[in-house]
C-alpha cells in the first residue's frame, strides 16, 4: 500500500486544525491503516488530545536527527503511533513570506526524516502550527496531500488565499506532486445565511486553487468539544454524533478523491 502523507494546514488559528488531524488519523486507523501522527505545533494540542503523556524523544529530536525513538505507540488507538510535539519547536520556527522560500531554507528536513525513519506507516497525518513558518513549509514539502480547514467567516477566506500562495511556492520549489485534497468547512451552521454565502465564496476560491470545497461540512457539535476534553477520538466518544458522521464523510472524500 502506497504511503500517503496528509498535512492539515491553515494560516489562521482556531479553524479546527488539531480536531481535524485527530479525526483523520483516528478514522484512518479504524479503516485498517497503520497511522503515524506528527505534532509539529509547539502548542502540542494534538499530543494532549491523544492523552499522550511522558518524557522522551519528541518531534524536535525527530527533525534534528531522525531519531526513531520519537515514534511512540498510542495505546488508545490500535495501529496508531505519534511523534509528540515539543514547545521548543517554537524556537526553530521562523515566519517567512511565502515568496521568501529560498534554497537555504531547510524545507526538506521532515521529508527526509520520514523517508528514512517512518516507512512502516501507510498513512501519516501532520498537525501544523498556525502561520506560514518553517514548520508548516516542512509539513507541506513532506506531504502528498494537504487539507485546509476553514471557518465560515471572511478572515478564514483571507487566510486560505494566503496559504494557497505558500502551497504554490512549495510546489514550485520543493514538492511539485503536492495535491490540495480540499478545503474543509468546520463549525458549520447551514441555518446561517452567512455560512451559506461563505461556502459559495470558498467554492470559488477552491476552484481558483485547482481543488474543491469538500462536500462534507463539519457541523457545530458539542460532542466534538466533549471528546476533545475527554481526550478521545470522536469515533470512540460519540460514534453516532454529527461530528463523527461529518468527519467520516470528509475522510472518505479525501481517500477516494
> What are the pLDDT digits (tens) for 199-210?
888 999 999 999
What pLDDT score was predicted for residue 115? 93
Q: Residue 17 contacts by C-beta under 8 Å, 6 or more apart in sequence?
A: 8, 9, 10, 41, 127, 128, 130, 149
108 by DSSP, 3-state: which?
coil
At 105, the pLDDT band (50, 70, 90 cuts) reads low
Share of the chain above pLDDT 90, in %: 74
Higher pLDDT, 195 or 155: 155
Termini Cα distance of the chain: 17
Which among 53, 46, 58, 57 has a CA at the least distance from the CA of 17? 46
Which of the pair, 35 or 196, is modelled with greater confidence? Answer: 35
Q: What are phi and psi for residue 225, nearest 5 degrees? A: -70, -40
Nearest to 207 by CA among 150, 164, 255, 167: 164
Least confident range from 55-64, 175-184, 194-203: namely 194-203
E strands, the chain, in order: 4-8, 35-39, 72-73, 80-83, 123-127, 145-151, 179-188, 213-219
**Domains: count for the chain:** 1
Domain span including residue 132? 4-256
Residue 228 scores a pLDDT above 80:
yes
- The answer on pLDDT for 108 being more than 50 is yes
Partnered with residue 37 across adjacent β-strands are: 82, 125
Residue with cell 515539543: 86
Q: How far is residue 141 from each of residues 62, 86, 149, 179, measured CA to CA in Å? A: 16, 20, 18, 11
Report residue 256 as a C-alpha cell. Answer: 477516494
* Predicted local distance difference test score (pLDDT) of residue 153: 87
257 or 63, which is more confident?
63
Q: How far is CA 104 from CA 69, 101, 108, 138, 175, in A?
A: 28, 8, 10, 13, 16
State pTM to two decimals. 0.93
- Per-residue pLDDT band for 2 (boundaries 50, 70, 90) equals confident
**Average pLDDT rounded to a whole number, residues 14-35:** 97
Q: What is the mean pLDDT of residues 217-232?
A: 93
Contact residues for 103 (Cβ-Cβ < 8 A; gap 6+):
173
Which of the four pLDDT bands, split at 50, 70 and 90, describes residue 99?
Answer: very low
Query: What's 16's DSSP letter?
Result: S
Q: Within its chain, how far is the Cα of 84 from the centroid? A: 14
Angle at alpha carbon of residue 93, lines to 168 and 148, rounded to 5°: 40
Return d(Cα 81, Cα 84) in angstroms, integer: 9
pLDDT in tens, 133-177: 899 999 999 999 999 999 988 898 899 999 999 999 999 999 999
Q: Looking at the predicted structure, is the pLDDT value of residue 28 above 60? A: yes
For the domain that residue 78 is a member of, what is the CATH number? 3.40.50.300
Would the pLDDT of 188 be above 90?
no
pLDDT at 96: 45
Amino acid at each position: 500500500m502506497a504511503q500517503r502523507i496528509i498535512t492539515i494546514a491553515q494560516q489562521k488559528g482556531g479553524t479546527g486544525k488539531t480536531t481535524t488531524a485527530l479525526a483523520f488519523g483516528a478514522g484512518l486507523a479504524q479503516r485498517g491503516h497503520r497511522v503515524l501522527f506528527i505534532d509539529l505545533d509547539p502548542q502540542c494540542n494534538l499530543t494532549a488530545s491523544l492523552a499522550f503523556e511522558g518524557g522522551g524523544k519528541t518531534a524536535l529530536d525527530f527533525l534534528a536527527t531522525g531519531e526513531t525513538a520519537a515514534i511512540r505507540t498510542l495505546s488508545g488507538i490500535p495501529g496508531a503511533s505519534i511523534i509528540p510535539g515539543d514547545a521548543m519547536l517554537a524556537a526553530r520556527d521562523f515566519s517567512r513570506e511565502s515568496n521568501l522560500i529560498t534554497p537555504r531554507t531547510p524545507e526538506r528536513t521532515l521529508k527526509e526524516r520520514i523517508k528514512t525513519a517512518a516507512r512502516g506507516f501507510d498513512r501519516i497525518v501532520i498537525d501544523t502550527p498556525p502561520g506560514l513558518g518553517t514548520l508548516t513549509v516542512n509539513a507541506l514539502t513532506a506531504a502528498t496531500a494537504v487539507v485546509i480547514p476553514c471557518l465560515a467567516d471572511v478572515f478564514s477566506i483571507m487566510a486560505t488565499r494566503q496559504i494557497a500562495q505558500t502551497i504554490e511556492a512549495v510546489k514550485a520549489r520543493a514538492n511539485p506532486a503536492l495535491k490540495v485534497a480540499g478545503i474543509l468547512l468546520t463549525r458549520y451552521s447551514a441555518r446561517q445565511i452567512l455560512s451559506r454565502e461563505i461556502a459559495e465564496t470558498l467554492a470559488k476560491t477552491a476552484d481558483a486553487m485547482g481543488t474543491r470545497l469538500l462536500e462534507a461540512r463539519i457541523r457545530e457539535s458539542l460532542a466534538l468539544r466533549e471528546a476533545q476534553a475527554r481526550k478521545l477520538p470522536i469515533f470512540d466518544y460519540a460514534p453516532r454524533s454529527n461530528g463523527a458522521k461529518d468527519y467520516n464523510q470528509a475522510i472518505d472524500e479525501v481517500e477516494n478523491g
